[in-house]
Structure 1
Amino acid sequence: MGVPGPGRSVLGDALVLFSTVAATASILLSQRLIRHYGPVNTTTWTLTCGTLLTLPFALSSGGPTQGFR
């Protein structure tokens, strides 16, 4: 992550660590929700909430294809 060079890998390492912790928490929390609401409802609500939370960032950055020129 970022520009290669001395001292620059700490940010990338921190992002990977945070991503791993977030993915683990998501899996553990999803297990409880799946037992209570079922896999289809849990997946539907997870994707819906994720879309609604990231949509403002995607729209404010110029759309989904802004960086693919």
Structure 2
Amino acid sequence: MNNPKVLSIFNNAKIFLSIEELKELAMCIDKEVGRPAPRIVKKSKPLQNWTLESVTEELLATQFKKKCR
């Protein structure tokens, strides 16, 4: 809510409307305009069993690739 018009309307609505009326107004706005799409949160991968062998394999596979010339 960075728009001054929107802030002014919202502040006036808080003054003149009851809590129930504000909730009803919010539902009407959601129905008319729609809610913004929820942001997708990437889930982190579960940690693998970090044994010496798996760490070595991971490093060899990712860090020590041959560079193309």
**Common fold, TM-score beyond 0.5?**
no
Determine which structure has the larger helix proportion and give its number: 1
Ranked by relative contact order (alpha carbons within 8 Å, sequence separation 6 or more), the top structure is 1
- Greater Rg over alpha carbons, structure: 2
